[in-house]
Structure 1
C-alpha cells in the first residue's frame, strides 16, 4: 500500500506503507527508530549512529552524515530514507531524492523535536509509541523549566562546539533552545554556529562556558586552557548528545538536566 507524507521541508513523498527497508542518515533519528521498535526495518545507518551500541555493531554503515556512500545506499534498495536539513549535505540528499522516498526533518526547538517524533511515528507505523515518548519529554521538560524558575537560574553562557577555530552554538539552534529551557542566556547573539576568538568571548563576560563532547571532543585539558583565559567564568565539560540530539534521547536528557541544573546554582 502506498501512502503520502509531507516532510518538514514541505515536500510530499509516497511511501510503501509500512516501510520495511529504512535507512537513517542522522544519529538522533536512528536512536529514535530503534526506540520505536524498528530493529528489523532499519537496514542502514551512519558511522556516527552509535546508540544503541548493540544495533550499531550489526547494521550496515553507509558513511558519515555529510559523506554518504550513495552507491552502497543504492545497493541496499531502501523503501524509505530519513535525514535532516542541517546534518546532511544538500547535494547528496537531492541525488537520493531523485531515486528514493526521502523524508527530511528541520529542527530548531523542542516543539519541532516533538513534531518530528510524531511524524516519524506516523511514517513508520509506530504512532502510539511515539506519543508515549512525547508524553515523557513534555512532562520532563515542563518540570525542568519550573525548576529553573523556582531556583532563579538566570546565568549567561557560551557553548563551544569546535576548536581551531573556536565555534559556538548561536541563535536559531536546538542547543540555544535547550539552554534557554534550563534558565541560561546565550551570550552569542549571532545565528547558527559563528566563529569567535577567546578575546572576543572575554568581552561578552559569560558566567558559564560549556565545552561540548561533540562534534569536537573537548576534554579536561581544554577546560584548563579556557579557564586560564577566562578566569572569571565557570568552565564545564558537558554531554553534547544531551544538548543536541533531538529524538528519543530527550527522555534521557531530562534526568541529565535535573542533575546538571544543581551544579549551576
Structure 2
C-alpha cells in the first residue's frame, strides 16, 4: 500500500511537539464496465484489479468477471451483467447498486476456534503504522487466502472477493473477516459474493442482521479475544450449536 509521511503539531496536555506521521494514501478510481463508465470509487490505489472485480461481484452485477485491465487510475472490467444497473450515491463519495442481495447457498460449517483465528488474522502492519485503514481477510479451506487494507471498509471486501474471483476460488467455502461495522450494505456484499459466514470485530445494525437473516448468511460480530456474538444462522458454527443443545433441559 502507498504510505506518505506528513508533519504535524502534537499536543499532549500542556506539552507541544513537532511530529511526522505515516498516513495512508487516498485516491479516486474510475471503474468502467463493458466499455461504459460505471462509477468512481474512493479507495487506496493498490490491487485495483481485485478491487474492480470484487466491486462488480459484491454489488450483484455479475457472478464472475471475464477480464480486468488497469490503466493508471482507470479500471476496465468485462463481465456478463445479470441485472439492471441502478446506482445510489454513497457517503464515501462513490455509488452502490440498488436491489436485494442474492441468497447464500453453502453447506460449510465452522468452529469457535476458526472464528477466533479469522479475527486474529485481521490485524495488519499497515493499520498499526497509520491507524487509518480498514482490513478484511478471506479464509478458504480453513487457511488464510488473502488480506486487504484500504481507506474504505467496503473496498477491503471488494479486494478479497476480487482476489478469490480472479483466481477461481470457491467463495461458497470461504469465511470473510472484517474490521468494519456490518450494516445492510456490507452484509449484502458478502451475500452477493456467495460467502456464507462473515466475522467482524465491530457491531452490526438492525438492518444488517435482517439482511443476513434473509440472505441465509451467518453473521458473527463483536469478535474480540475469546468473545463473539452470532446473530443469524448459528447452525454453521457446529460446536457452539452443540453446546447450546446440550445446555437445554
Q: Taking structure 2 as the reference length, what is the TM-score of the superposition?
A: 0.26
Give 1 or 2: higher strand fraction: 2
Give 1 or 2: higher helix fraction: 1
Q: Taking structure 1 as the reference length, what is the TM-score of the superposition?
A: 0.25
